[in-house]
C-alpha cells in the first residue's frame, strides 16, 4: 500500500505551495514507513520568428512525483518513487510477489518501449493496483487503476480556474483549487507531454494530449484485463431446489468444493508473507472487519488455515452510540399514550452503556466468535469491541468526509464512519467470554474485508425483486450490473478511508480469479430467489460455509454495515442514503 500524488504545472501557472503540502501530507498518512518526492522539468519554450527579432515564449512544464510507502512485501525497505534513466513509477499495488512488487514491476516497465507493451503487462496482473508511470523516452505518462478499482486514484484536470493537472490517492477534502473525480477503470490513461509543444495554452491542449488505451488487445485476450462476463445460460423451468443447508445435492457438490478451493487460495495469497514491521512476536498481523455475518466469517475461518496458530487474529467489530436509536429504546412507540403516562414509562426505562453498544453486529459478532473458538480451539481470537461515542463520531465527521470525497452522499458517510473507526482498531477485548474488558489497539496492518460476495452470489434483496418481476433473465442482468458497478460504487471510497490509518484492506471475494470462477457458473448454482431468505440468497456460499462447519454463520441473514453498527441515521433529520450531504 502507498499514497500517490502527482502534479503537473507550468512555470507561468504554478500550484499554491500550501495546496501541494496539504496533498502530500494527506497521502503520506497512507504510507507511514517512507515518503519521498522527485521532480522533472520539460522545456516547451516556443520560438516565433519575425523580420527583426525572435520572440521566445518560455514554458517550463514541471512534474512532481510523490509516494508514501506502507511496507507489506519483502524484507528490505524500499523508498518510492522508483527512478531510473528518467523513468518514474509511483506504485500502489499487490502482485503477490515474495519481494517488493513495485521494484519488480519497474524493472519490467523500464525495458518496454511501446504503449501496447505496457498495456499487455498490466493485463497479466491479478491483484489490486493504482499507478502513475512516466516513460521518459516517449514523454508519456500512464496512469490507471485495476479493472475492479480496488485501489483509489483521483484525477483533477486542468481548467481556466485551476490550470494544472493533479493525480492523488486521496484529496484533502472540499477545496475550490481542484475538482477531483475517480479515475475510470475501463482503460489505461495516457498523457502525451511531447504534444504540448504544439500548443501555446497547456490547459486548452490537455484533452487533446490525454487518450484512453484499451485494456486488452483483441489478439491477446487476458482474464485479468477486464472482469469476466456472466454466464447467460438459463435453468430449466422445473430446475431442482435445495430444502436445507445440511445436505448438498450431487448437482451442487462440485461447485461447492470449487468455491471453497478458489476462496481458500485467494485468502492464502492475501495473508501469507506479511512482514512483522512494528508487530512483535505473539501479536496479530492480520485483522478482519468482522460482523459475524457469513462473508466475514468464512474468510476468517480460511485465514486461520494459513496463519501460524500461535499468532492471534483480530476481529474488529464496530458499534456506534446512536442517539436516535437510544431515544426510541428509551421512549418506545407510545402512540396515543398521554404525556403523563409517557413520562412514567420513560423514567422506568434507561439504556445502559453496555446496551448502547449491543448493536445487531455486536450481537452476531459475539455469537460467531464462540463458534470460531469451538472450531479452532488453539487460536487466540481477539474480538475487538470498537465502541464509538456519539460525540467522537461527530468530531470525526469533517475529516471522514474529506477522506471519502468525491463520494458525498448520506450513505457514503454512514459507511465511511463505520470503516474509519473499525480500521483504526482502538477498542477493548475480553480474555474470556465473561471477563472484564481490557483496552486494546490492533497492531495489524492488513485488514480482510468480505465485500463482493453479495454482488457475485446474489445476496441483495434487489436480486429477489428482479426474479419476481422478470424471472431468471432479470437476475442475470442485475448480477451483471453489479459487477459493472463495483469500480464506481464502494472500493475507491473504502480504500481512501481505511488507508488513512496506514493500513491496507484486502478483498478475497474480489480476486479476479474468484470473480471469473463465479461469473462462469450458471446463475441457479449461485443463488435461488425462489427459496426463503437465509437459504436461497448466496446459496452456494451458504452451502460452502455449512460444509466447513460454520453452522450458525451459514444461515444468518444479510444486514448492511451501516444498520448493523448503527452508524446510519443518528439524527431525526437524517435523510435517505442516496441524497447528497449539505
Three-state helix/strand/coil letters over 334-361: CCCCCHHHHHHHHHCCCCCHHHHCCCHH
Residue 487 and residue 59: Cα distance in Å, rounded?
A: 37
Residues 6+ apart with CB under 8 A from 63: 6, 7, 8, 39, 40, 41, 42, 134
Listed as own residue / partner, the contacts of 560-564 with beta carbons closer than 8 Å and 24 or more positions apart are 561/291, 561/361, 561/415, 561/418, 561/419, 562/411, 562/414, 562/415, 562/418, 563/360, 564/291, 564/293, 564/359, 564/360, 564/361, 564/364
Q: Do residues 15 and 165 make contact, with C-beta atoms less than 8 angstroms apart?
A: no
| Extended beta strands in 515-578, E state | none
Q: Which of the residues in the chain have pLDDT under 50? A: 47-56, 334, 346
State the Cα–Cα distance between residues 255 and 250, nearest whole angstrom. Answer: 10
CA separation for the pair 434, 233 (Å, rounded): 52
CB count within 10 Å of CB 50 equals 7
Handedness of CA 536, 560, 316, 182 (dihedral sign): positive
Give how far the C-alpha of residue 321 lies from the chain's centroid of Cα atoms, to the nearest Å. Answer: 25
Torsion of CA 34, 267, 493, 23, to 10 degrees: 10
Q: Please state whether 452 falls in left (phi above 0), alpha (psi between -120 and 50) or beta.
A: left
CA distance 86 to 137: 8
Q: Which residues contact 483 (CB under 8 A, 6 or more apart)?
A: 227, 230, 455, 456, 515, 519
The closest alpha carbon to 414, from 503, 318, 331, belongs to: 318
What CATH number labels 250-272+282-331+353-565?
3.40.50.620
Angle, CA 513 vertex, CA 129 and CA 551 arms, to 5°? 110
Are 428 and 387 in contact by the 8 Å Cβ rule? The answer is yes
Cβ atoms 570, 363 nearer than 8 A: no
Please indicate whether residue 2 is annotated as part of the active site.
yes
Instruction: Decide yes or no: CATH 3.60.20.10 for domain 2-45+59-214.
Output: yes
State how far the Cα of 277 lies from the Cα of 300, in Å rounded to an integer.
22
**Residue 32 DSSP symbol:** B
Answer for the pair 556, 534: CB distance below 8 angstroms, yes or no.
Answer: yes
Residues belonging to the chain: 582
Q: How far apart are CA 383 and CA 470, in angstroms?
A: 43
The pLDDT of residue 96: 59
Q: Tell me the C-alpha distance between 360 and 480, whole Å.
A: 31
pLDDT value at residue 570: 85
**Half-sphere exposure (Cβ direction) of 299: Cα atoms closer than 13 Å:** 30
141, 133 contact by CB (below 8 A):
yes
All three cell numbers of 154, joined, read 483521483
Whether residue 306 contacts residue 461, with contact meaning beta carbons closer than 8 Å, is answered with no
Contacts of 378 (CB under 8 A, 6+ apart): 309
- How many angstroms separate the CA atoms of 120 and 21, rounded? 35
What's the pTM? 0.92
Coil, helix or strand for 323? Answer: helix
Instruction: Indicate where the chain has its CATH 3.60.20.10 domain(s).
Output: 2-45+59-214
SS3 459: coil
Rg (alpha carbons) of the chain, rounded to whole number? 26
Contacts for 490 with CB less than 8 Å, ≥ 6 apart? 415, 451
- In the chain, residues under CATH classification 3.40.50.620 are 250-272+282-331+353-565
**Both ends of the chain: CA-CA distance in Å?**
32
Q: Who's near 560: CB < 8 A, 6+ residues apart?
A: none
Residues 6+ apart with CB under 8 A from 418: 318, 320, 561, 562, 565, 567
Using CB atoms within 10 Å of the CB of residue 168, give its burial: 0 to 12 exposed, 13 to 18 middle, 19+ buried: buried
Amino acid at each position: 500500500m502507498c499514497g500517490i500524488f502527482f502534479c503537473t504545472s507550468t512555470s507561468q501557472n504554478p500550484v499554491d505551495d500550501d495546496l501541494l503540502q496539504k496533498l502530500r501530507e494527506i497521502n503520506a498518512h497512507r504510507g507511514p514507513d517512507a515518503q519521498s518526492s522527485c521532480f522533472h522539468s520539460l522545456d516547451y519554450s516556443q520560438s516565433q520568428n519575425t523580420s527583426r527579432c525572435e520572440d521566445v515564449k518560455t514554458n517550463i512544464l514541471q512534474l512532481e512525483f510523490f509516494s508514501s510507502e506502507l511496507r507489506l512485501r519483502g524484507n528490505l525497505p524500499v523508498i518510492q518513487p522508483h527512478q531510473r534513466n528518467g523513468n518514474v513509477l509511483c506504485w500502489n499495488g499487490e502482485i503477490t510477489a515474495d519481494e517488493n512488487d513495485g521494484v519488480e514491476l519497474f524493472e519490467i516497465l523500464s525495458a518496454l518501449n511501446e504503449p501496447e507493451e505496457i498495456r499487455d503487462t498490466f493485463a497479466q496482473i491479478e491483484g489490486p493496483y493504482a499507478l502513475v508511470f512516466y516513460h521518459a523516452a516517449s514523454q508519456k505518462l500512464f496512469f490507471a487503476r485495476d479493472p475492479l478499482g480496488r485501489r483509489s486514484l483521483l484525477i483533477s484536470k486542468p481548467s481556466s480556474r485551476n490550470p494544472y493537472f493533479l493525480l492523488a490517492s486521496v484529496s484533502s477534502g472540499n477545496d475550490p483549487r481542484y475538482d477531483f473525480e475517480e479515475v475510470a477503470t475501463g482503460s489505461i490513461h495516457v498523457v502525451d507531454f511531447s504534444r504540448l509543444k504544439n500548443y501555446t495554452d497547456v490547459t486548452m491542449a490537455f484533452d487533446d494530449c490525454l487518450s484512453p488505451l484499451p485494456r486488452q488487445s483483441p489478439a491477446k485476450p487476458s482474464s485479468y484485463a477486464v472482469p469476466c462476463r456472466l454466464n447467460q445460460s438459463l435453468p430449466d423451468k422445473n430446475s431442482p431446489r435445495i430444502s436445507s443447508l445440511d445436505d448438498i445435492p450431487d448437482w451442487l457438490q462440485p461447485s461447492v468444493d470449487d468455491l471453497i478451493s478458489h476462496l481458500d487460495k485467494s485468502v492464502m495469497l492475501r495473508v501469507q508473507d506479511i512482514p512483522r514491521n512494528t508487530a512483535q512476536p505473539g501479536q496479530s498481523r492480520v485483522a478482519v472487519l468482522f460482523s459475524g455475518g457469513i462473508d466475514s466469517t468464512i474468510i476468517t475461518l480460511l485465514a486461520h488455515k494459513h496463519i501460524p496458530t500461535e499468532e492471534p487474529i483480530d476481529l474488529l467489530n464496530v458499534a456506534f452510540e446512536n442517539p436516535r436509536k437510544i431515544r426510541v429504546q428509551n421512549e418506545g412507540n407510545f402512540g396515543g399514550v398521554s404525556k403523563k403516562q409517557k413520562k412514567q414509562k420513560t423514567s422506568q426505562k434507561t439504556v445502559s452503556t453496555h446496551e448502547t453498544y449491543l448493536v445487531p453486529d455486536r450481537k452476531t459478532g459475539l455469537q460467531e466468535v464462540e463458534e470460531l473458538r469451538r472450531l479452532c480451539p488453539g487460536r487466540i481470537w481477539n474480538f475487538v469491541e470498537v465502541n464509538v461515542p456519539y460525540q467522537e463520531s461527530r468530531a470525526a465527521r469533517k475529516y471522514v468526509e474529506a477522506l471519502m470525497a468525491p463520494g458525498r452522499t448520506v450513505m457514503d458517510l454512514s459507511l465511511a464512519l463505520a470503516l474509519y473507526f473499525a480500521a483504526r482498531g482502538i477498542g477493548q477485548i475480553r480474555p474470556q467470554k465473561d471477563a472484564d474488558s481490557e483496552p486494546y489497539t490492533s497492531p495489524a496492518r492488513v485488514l480482510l474485508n468480505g465485500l463482493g460476495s453479495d454482488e457475485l452470489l446474489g445476496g441483495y434483496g434487489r436480486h429477489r425483486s428482479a426474479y419476481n418481476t422478470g424471472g431468471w433473465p432479470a437476475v442475470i442482468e442485475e448480477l451483471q450490473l453489479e459487477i459493472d458497478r463495483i469500480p464506481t460504487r464502494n472500493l475507491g471510497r473504502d480504500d481512501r478511508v481505511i488507508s488513512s490509518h496506514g493500513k491496507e484492506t484486502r478483498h478475497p471475494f474480489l480476486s479476479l480469479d474468484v470473480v471469473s470462477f463465479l461469473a462462469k457458473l450458471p446463475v441457479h448454482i449461485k443463488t435461488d430467489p425462489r427459496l426463503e431468505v437465509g437459504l436461497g440468497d448466496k446459496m452456494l456460499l451458504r452451502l460452502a460455509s455449512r460444509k466447513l462447519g460454520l453452522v450458525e454463520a451459514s444461515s444468518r441473514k444479510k444486514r448492511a454495515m451501516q444498520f448493523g453498527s448503527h452508524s446510519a441515521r443518528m439524527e431525526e433529520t437524517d435523510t435517505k442514503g442516496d441524497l447528497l450531504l449539505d
